Each structure stands twice: as C-alpha cells, then as structure tokens.
A and B are shown apart, each in its own frame.
Chain A
Amino acid sequence: MTDTSRRSFLRGAAISGAGALVGGRVAAQAAPDPAITELQPWQQYLGEGVDARPYGMPSEHEAHVVRRDVPWLTADPVSSVNFTPLHELDGIITPNGLCFERHHGGIAEIDPGAYRLMINGLVDTPLVFTLDDLKRFPRENHAYFLECAANSGMEWRGAQLNGCQFTHGMIHNVMYTGVPLRLLLEEAGIKTAGKWILPEGADASAMTRSIPLEKALDDCLVAFKMNGEALRPEQGYPVRLVVPGWEGNMWVKWLRRIEIGDQPWHHREETSKYTDLLPDGQARRFTWEMDAKSVITNPSPQAPITHGPGPTVLTGIAWSGRGTIPRVDVTLDGGATWARARMSGPSFDKSMHRFYYEFDWDGRPLLLQSRAHDSTGYVQPTKDMLREVRGENSIYHNNGIQTWAVNEQGVAENVEVSS
C-alpha cells in the first residue's frame, strides 16, 4: 500500500466511526492526538533529582491503589482488618505498603534495640535472643501467601461486598527472609515430651496460638524481612512467625516468645475464634490449612471492562495451603463451559500463582468464574458444595468459587449463580 492510498484508507476508516474495527485494529481518530502533537510538561521541564525521593512512593496517579477497610465489619479499627487492592495488582508479589492488615490490639511500634525473643517451656535451656542474635543464624528465602482465615467470610450467606478487594483481599504474598524456626528450637534443645509450641506476640493482644511441633520443625520461619526490606510495623516489625499454608492468625506478629509444651493451650484464638461452627452445633477446631482457592481480579466489580468489545485480558490469582497450583480453569458462562487458563510466572509451594485467559469479548453479558486445582489433586469447590458440608455459620475457610456478572457495558458485579 502506497503512502497516499494508506492515508485515504485511514481517512475513510475514521469517517466510518471512531472505535470501529478495521482489519481487527481500531481506526485512527479524526483529529491529531494532542498527547502527541502538544508539548507535554514532562517533555519540557526538568524533573526532580535523585535526592528528592530517598524512599520512593507510587505515582500520584496511583493514589487510589490503597488498602481499604469496611467500617461496619468490626467494633473498632484497632481490632480489625483492611484489604489488599487485588484488582490493581499483577504478578504474584504484594507490595509491602499494600499488604492487608489484621490487628487485635493495633500496630505495636517496637524499638528493635529492645526486641527480645524468648524460648521456654520443655527445653533444655530457656533462651533469650536479640534481633542481632537472630541475624547470625543461617537464613532462607521463601515466597508464601498469608491468607486470613476469615477471607471471604462475609460471603457465606450470599454475595455481600462488591469487589475482590473486599471479598478476597485478606491475603498477601511476599518473599520472606528469616531463620528456620527449627534452628532456634534446636538451640534451646527440645525435651522428648515437647509436642506443641505456643508463639506469642509482644503487642497489647499478646496473640497466642498452639502449633504442633511437627509443623514448627518442618517449614516455619522466624522472619525479619519481607520483599527484601525490614518487616513493616503493621506486619510485625521487627520479627514475625511464618507458618506456610496455614491460616493467617497463626503467623504471630511482633513475636516475643515461643513456649514448648506437651499439649495445646486452647487459647482464645483457637476456641472462641478460628473454630468453625457446623450446622449440628458442633465445631471444627485446629482447621489450620488454607484450602485451594482462586479469584478473578480483572475484570471484577472495581475493575470493569472499559474498552468495549474485542481483545480482553482476564487475570486472577490462585493459591493452596497444601502445595502449588498447576492448573486453573475459567468460565465465561457461569460454569457451563470451562477453559484452561494460562499460568504465568513462578510456581512456588504455598504461594500465590498468577493466571491469564485472553479472549475476544463479543459485548454480551458474562458470568466469570475461576476454579483452582492444587498439586494434591484437590479442586476448588463451589460455595454450594461447601455449604452442603458446613452450613452458613462457620465464618472461616470460605474457599468457594467466586462469580462476577459482567453486563453489556462491561460493569461487573458480585453475584451467585445456580449450580
């Protein structure tokens, strides 16, 4: 095609209407684009120097990408939760400043010089470590998801909150650097009778949970870095416990003490809370693992389709407390037809996984769902399958399949569909 004929072709396409598809490509617009033809300020004036931002922040145009809370959920913001903006993120690593928070006594601000970790109970020698001591043990690096046991808990009785930030945002996934807990326990010398550990936080809630010694010796970490830098205060600075694959409540922040015992302690956070009530009035206790789960983050209620019909990127996250996620299926029609999504990026044990499904949207309404398969062969169940076993009052461990309804305008909504 010559230059002249190309120009007249494009002019003709523009007349036929902005946004019309020509050979699969959106037509050129009628008038020149001022973003190109006009000199922009950043092309003309000097920007800030290297001394302006000692600790960089996101662009001001990303100011909406923040943690959010739901005031009616709890009595007080000090013992409460906020939510990671999953719909604005990609890949598998959650930026430290956006990792959801869950405190029971607010954020403890600990002077690292006054930080101490005690190990006591059924040990040969009760020990006290400083932060400097901990940093002299051999370290490991692992990316793990941390999901609150109550993530999606508001959705047990039906669709309540409109956005994956609120329905699924009590999760984050970061690279932890820390010392295997096993090394610290061995330093103290565990007595034969020792079967359980009790990690305890240094904050005003003095959080405690009972963890079987087998897990403590397996893969728990005493972590002091997240994504390469010191833990954020709201994530337990200077030291937190990492309990891979298990419910977030057990990842004790501001870790000050680990006791070894011969029985579980049955403390408040494993009796009154983090026990799962079933329809017959009985309750499961010690429901530690977080089962395989996924959610489509885009499109979603906070991230509608704004580009009209044509090529569309569907993406989301999947994770399992029991292993990796080799496969995610997605449906555009509420579960009548499924296709395998494309997994992209690293696949780590008990970590977040990223999936994509690219399709040409024809502009008709969609009912989007994702279905995770984990490395044990477990397949993420529907909410109805879970309710069949557990009823609607178990609060925790809702890993049911999420549905987003997308209308002709591309607006997405949290819904439930018939099975």
Chain B
Amino acid sequence: SRDGGYGLGRAALEEEVAAWDIDIRPDGQGLPEGEGDVWTGEELYVAQCATCHGDFGEGAGRWPQLALGMGTLTSDDPVKTVGSYWPYLSTVWDYVHRAMPFGAAQTLSDDEVYAITAYILYLNELVEDDFVLSSSSFADVEMPNAGNFFMDDRPDTELTAFSGEVCMENCKEDVQITARARVLDVTPDAGGGEGTDP
C-alpha cells in the first residue's frame, strides 16, 4: 500500500463505535454492566421466545432446541443445544442480544438479555432457580462441553492420507448400489411440487 495510506475515510466517533461494537468474547470482553435473574428471564422467554423455542427450550417444529440433549453427542442423533454443545456462555449473550428474537433483533435491553440468558441456563439445569446472571457472576458459569472442541486437524488426519497415487484400472471387482435417493423421495418435484416453484 501507499506510504501514509490513501487518506480515505474518516475517524469513527466514540458514539458510533459504541452503537455498532456490541460483540462479546468468552473472557467477558464487551459485556455491559447489568444483571437478570431466572424468573425475570422466564417471563421474558415465555413472551418473546417460547413460540419458536418451546416452553422448555425443546424447540417447536423445526425451530432450534435450546435446552438439554446432554449425553447425545456420540449417539446416532446428536441433540446440540446450549447445554449439551455450546462451549461458551458469552456466545449465548452475544447472539441473543445481536440477533434475537428472530424478526425483532436488538430490541432487548442489556438486563433483559442477562435474564433470558439466566433462564436458558436454568432450562439446561446448569444453574439453580435463584441464580442471578451479571457481568460479575458471568465467569462463574461453566459450560459442560467447553473442552470438546479442537482446532481443525485435517492437515494431520486427512490431507496426506487423501493425497498420492490413485487407481485407474481394475480398481473394484464388483460394484453394488448401496443407497438410492429415489427410495427416500424427498426431492422437490421439478414439475411443480409443493412450494418450490417461484
């Protein structure tokens, strides 16, 4: 780039940065002052969240399940919720605050986000019903699955193993079809199946 830059753009004002920089990190960086308890969270959750996420975080229809599912990650049908899967509480606070409720994002106050987050922890049996979540109690909450994520290891486990010479002739003796999509028959019908045509 050019020495001294291009001199384009202008300095951002503090108020502007404050309006847009709302992200929270696992170490608590970005968390505002505030607090909320489980029962306040329940009221807000029932009013603003339960229609999609279910009264107990079980999820309605295909909407995401928020609670429980512990012990399912090694099963055929893993249930990945805040309690069973999410590694950091900060992610819950950050995401609820930035993007929920779906269709009315960024309408919750900081205290309301603390309360709803406390209630989601309660639904996941991670806190007692008298728990108060605040910027100071935040670090006390341990997420059960925090230790089960690791950096992409494909360079060690796959890239070399999947490289090298390939077979070009006489690679298989007998080829059998083992699965067919048409048996499932879940593809939208190109002739005008339900809700698929523009």
Contact = CB atoms under 8 A, between A and B. Distances in A.
Contact of B178 (A137, A256, A416): A416
B186 A126 contact: no
Given A74-B62, A266-B26, A379 B163 contact: yes
Interface in A199-217: 200, 204-206, 208
B23 A259 contact: yes
Interface string A369-412: 00101001111110001000100110000000000010000000
Contact of A265 (B23, B62, B175): B23
Contact of A186 (B1, B169, B174): B1
Contacts of B102: 76, 78-79, 105
Interface stretch (A52-60, A127-135, A310-318, A356-364): A127-135
A64 B190 contact: yes
Contacts of A75: 52, 61-64
A131 to B, nearest CB: 11
Contacts of B61: 75
B196 interface: yes
Interface string B43-62: 00000000010000000011
A104 B99 contact: yes
Given A104-B99, A338-B171, A385 B16 contact: no
Contact of B98 (A76, A161, A206, A377): A206
Nearest to B17: A120
A268 B22 CA distance: 14
B124 to A, nearest CB: 13
Interface stretch (B5-13, B32-40, B110-118, B127-135): B5-13
A233 B121 CA distance: 37
B126 to A, nearest CB: 16
Interface string B69-108: 0000110101010100111101100110011001101100
A346 B162 CA distance: 26
8 contacts: A128-B9, A129-B8, A136-B8, A159-B179, A160-B184, A268-B91, A284-B150, A337-B170
Interface of A: 64, 66-72, 74-76, 78-79, 104-105, 118-121, 125-129, 133, 136-137, 158-163, 166, 182-183, 186-188, 198, 200, 204-206, 208, 256-257, 259, 261, 263, 265-268, 271-272, 275, 277, 279-289, 291, 301-302, 329, 333-339, 367, 371, 373, 376-381, 385, 389, 392-393, 405, 413-419
B27 interface: yes
B14 to A, nearest CB: 9
Given A128-B12, A282-B149, A337-B171, 13 more contacts: A69-B188, A118-B17, A158-B179, A182-B1, A187-B1, A281-B73, A285-B151, A285-B152, A287-B154, A291-B154, A336-B173, A338-B166, A392-B76
A367 B12 CA distance: 59
Interface residues of B, number: 82
A266 B90 contact: yes
Nearest to B26: A266
Contacts of A67: 198
Interface of B: 1, 5-6, 8-12, 16-17, 20-27, 52, 61-64, 73-74, 76, 78, 80, 82, 85-88, 90-91, 94-95, 98-99, 102-103, 105-106, 148-154, 157-159, 162-164, 166-182, 184, 186-188, 190, 194-196, 198
Q: Would you list the 9 A-B pairs with minimal beta carbon distance, nearest first?
A: A334-B175, A414-B181, A75-B62, A126-B12, A281-B73, A158-B179, A268-B95, A416-B179, A159-B181
B91 A271 contact: yes
B174 A418 contact: yes
* Secondary structure class of chain B's binding surface, majority of residues: loop
Contact of B186 (A72, A282, A291, A302): A72
B23 A127 contact: no
Contacts of A414: 180-182
Contacts of B180: 159, 405, 413-415
Contacts of A261: 25
A285 B86 CA distance: 12
Given A79-B102, A285-B149, A271 B23 contact: no
B180 to A, nearest CB: 5
Contacts of A133: 8-9
A334 B159 CA distance: 24
B86 A183 contact: no
B146 to A, nearest CB: 10
Contacts of B106: 206
Given A120-B17, A413-B180, A418-B178, A204 B8 contact: no
Contacts of A72: 186
B88 A71 contact: no
A69 B196 contact: yes
A410 B154 CA distance: 38
A401 to B, nearest CB: 11
A419 B80 CA distance: 31
Nearest to B177: A415
A259 B1 CA distance: 20
